Structures are given as C-alpha cells and as structure tokens.
A and B are shown apart, each in its own frame.
Chain A
Amino acid sequence: AQRVTQPEKLLSVFKGAPVELKCNYSYSGSPELFWYVQYSRQRLQLLLRHISRESIKGFTADLNKGETSFHLKKPFAQEEDSAMYYCALSGLRGGGATNKLIFGTGTLLAVQP
C-alpha cells in the first residue's frame, strides 16, 4: 500500500536549535518525494523535492531508500519557520502515469523565541 507517515503532530523547538521533521513512506516502486509547507493563512507551497537535491530556506532532505525515509532537516531553526509541514510522495506508473500526491498527516513546527 502507498502510505506516508509523519509520526509527530507537533514539534516545538527553540530558535537556533536543530530541526528534524520525520517522514517515512511505503511504496512499491520508485517514488518521488516532496516536502510542502503551509505558513499561517497562506496556501500550501512546495518547499523541496528529492530529485532536486537543493537546499531551500536552509532546509534539506535526503531520500534514504534503505530506511524508506525522507526526513526534513535544518541546523538552526528560525521563528519564521513556524508552519505546517507535509511530506508527500508521487509515484509514476507505466501505461497511464498519474502524478497524484499522497500526503502525510503533517507536522506543526513551532519555533519558540
């Protein structure tokens, strides 16, 4: 079954502390993994995708196929990072590809001053 698991509903850290938002997935094939972020009163927006191997706003995420994980990390949290973070996967299937996204339930990151 295709599934994305984000075990933490809420992660509270102090400004300047490291952050790791956990994401594990289940998928039979080669998925593409994403992190989406939703700031207060804003729409959901893409933060990063694993195939880009880029760092956005100081965040990075490495796909670990052995552990089926795609954890989001930032070495020093900022107050403006406070938001809802969703991990998602997309699986391309042969013969009728569809890029539907499968989302985790989200983790609310609260960065305290």
Chain B
Amino acid sequence: NAGVMQNPRHLVRRRGQEARLRCSPMKGHSHVYWYRQLPEEGLKFMVYLQKENIIDESGMPKERFSAEFPKEGPSILRIQQVVRGDSAAYFCASSPPQGGGSVWQYFGPGTRLTVT
C-alpha cells in the first residue's frame, strides 16, 4: 500500500492563476480530508469528503476554493484566482469507512503552494 499520495509536491502560481491539488487516498479508504498549514501555524481543517459527497466544508473559505472527490480518480482541491495569502502547505488525509467507531487519519506528504 503506497499510502496517501499527493501531487504535485510543489506548485508555484502567479497571482490570479488557478491551482489544482490532487490527492489519492490509501487503497480501501473512501474518506478524504483536506487541511491547510500556514507558516508558523498548525494544520487547519478545510473539508471532509466521501466519494461524490461533501460531508463537512466548514473550514473552506467561502470564495475561490472548492473540493471534489469523484467516483473515479483522485480528490481535487481547486483554488481559483490565487492570492499571496493562499501560499501554504496543503495536506490531504484519508481514512477507511467508519463503522460507528473512531478511526484515525493517514496523511499525505503535502503540496507546498507558493503564489508569486
């Protein structure tokens, strides 16, 4: 099992461009979480998705950010019209289906987005 995969690992965008971050969960995992880490801060929850469904997007900025987890393929975090303040490390985590008990999350290596 290759673990949670994220690509690209580093992404540079100019202000106003779009950024697309991809996350492939671990095999057998159907739940995906996205977190953002700004410099000098801890990881902040953004969104929680299951296949084809957004379960909790309480941490997503209201504008320019969107996420999806299609039936086939990786989860995508999309940032439109990036600004300098979007520069951060974006982490994806996945977990297996939850059977009522608690499960923990496995993290990917992160994508470091730099907006110039």
Q: Please report A residues at the B interface, Cβ cutoff 8 Å.
A: 4, 6, 32, 34, 36, 43-46, 49, 51, 86, 88, 90, 92, 96-106
Question: B residues within 8 A CB of A98?
Answer: 48, 55-56
B45 touches A49 (CB 8 A): no
Contact across chains for A100 and B107 when beta carbons are under 8 A apart = no
Work out how many contacts link A and B, with CB atoms closer than 8 A. Answer: 63
Complex contact A49–B43 (CB within 8 A): no
Does B105 sit within 8 A of A, measured CB to CB?
A: yes
Residues of B within 8 A of A36 (CB): 107
Give the chain A neighbours of B63 by CB distance below 8 A: none
With contacts A92-B102, A100-B33 taken as known, whether A86 is within 8 angstroms of B42 at the C-beta atoms is yes
Given contacts A32-B102, A86-B43, A98-B48, 5 further A-B contacts (CB under 8 A): A34-B104, A44-B107, A45-B107, A101-B105, A105-B40
Q: Given A43-B109, A45-B107, A101–B43 Cβ distance below 8 Å?
A: yes
Closest A residue, CB atoms, query B103: A99
A105 with B108: CB separation less than 8 A: no
The chain B residue with its CB closest to the CB of A51 is B102
B33 touches A101 (CB 8 A): yes
Please encode chain B, from 1 to 42, with 1 for each CB lying within 8 Å of some chain A CB and 0 for all others.
Answer: 001100000000000000000000000000101010000111
Count B-side interface residues using an 8 Å CB cutoff.
Answer: 29
B44 within 8 A of A: yes
> CB of B91 within 8 A of chain A?
yes
Do A104 and B103 touch (CB < 8 A)?
no
The CB with the most chain A CB atoms within 10 A, among B58, B103, B105, B109, is that of B105
Task: Choose one: A6, A101, A104, A106; the contact of B45 (CB below 8 Å).
Answer: A101
Contact of B102 with A90 in the complex, beta carbons under 8 Å: yes
The 20 listed contacts between A and B (C-beta, < 8 Å) are A4-B42, A34-B104, A43-B3, A43-B4, A43-B107, A44-B91, A92-B102, A96-B55, A97-B98, A98-B48, A99-B33, A99-B95, A99-B103, A99-B105, A100-B33, A100-B58, A101-B33, A101-B43, A101-B93, A105-B42
* Residues from chain B with Cβ under 8 Å of A51 in the complex: 102
Is B61 in the interface zone, CB < 8 Å from A?
no
